[in-house]
Amino acid sequence: MPSPSQQFGSQAELMVSGYLKKQGYRIIEHNYRTRFGEIDIIAQHRGVIVFVEVKARKTDPYTEPYIDPKWAVTPEKQRRIAMAALYYLKTTRQSQARARFDVATVLCQSPPHIELYQNAFNFPA
């Protein structure tokens, strides 16, 4: 049985999936796992493969201390996501496809607030 934090994360990912669909994204995969790491959502948007990292918080952004969830995608996390993305592109024979990394944040207030940061970071050099 999933832990409460896993359930919370799954709910946030479902909210983001619905949001992305309304923005014209086509969802390809959820929770794509490799030995390098996990990608929360893989989608396609305007001919580009998009790897989406979802970060959610239960805290109120107007209370202290507050750290915006987008800052939780550290350089190390970016590297792991990029490695998993490269693996996905290679195994699906899409190495030449255009791709990008988006970060979606969810603030679980009433109502929940979703922000999407397109092209949030790049593939490592």
pLDDT tens-place string over residues 42-74: 999 999 999 999 998 876 556 655 566 677 788
Q: Candidates 3.40.50.150, 2.60.40.3880, 3.40.1350.10, 3.50.50.60; correct CATH number of 4-121?
A: 3.40.1350.10
Parse the chain into domains and list their residue ranges.
Answer: 4-121
Average pLDDT of 81-109? Answer: 93
The answer on pLDDT for 110 being more than 80 is no
Residues 39 and 45: their CA atoms lie apart, in Å, by: 16
CB 56, CB 108: distance < 8 Å: yes
Three-class secondary structure of residue 38 per DSSP: strand
pTM for this model (two decimals): 0.88
pLDDT band at 8 (very low <50, low <70, confident <90, very high): confident
